[in-house]
Structure 1
């Protein structure tokens, strides 16, 4: 008889994600180390870093566009 099991997806707060990304990008800790310390899969951390970098590019682009519009 087989018992169905479901893996429950963990939900992390925005602040937790921000701190994890900061450890990697600001403190320059290896993803593998942060993964072990925080018990978060390495691929999840790589995704968070990519999302942060994408958000940063969008933010900077919008800032540059608004700055160029105001100086025209």
Structure 2
């Protein structure tokens, strides 16, 4: 889970150290705070993390399949693989 809805107040070193493949961002569509910020999204991508946003994808569910791989399901559109 990405901190504070993907605000600009992030610690890049944390995301690099975690090495997460997926970053869940819980954020409302058309929020007045501008979350997630472009800088937070760029930081995630630079860290090798795929951002999954609830404002774009709706509800997102993660699970592991029998092979131990992460499977992503999203409510609104096909989630990135």
TM category, shorter:
under 0.3
Indicate the structure with greater helix content: 1
Q: Relative contact order, CA 8 A, sep 6+: which one is greater?
A: 2
Indicate the structure with greater strand content: 2
Structure showing greater radius of gyration is: 1
Give the TM-score normalised by the residue count of structure 2: 0.24
Give the TM-score normalised by the residue count of structure 1: 0.25
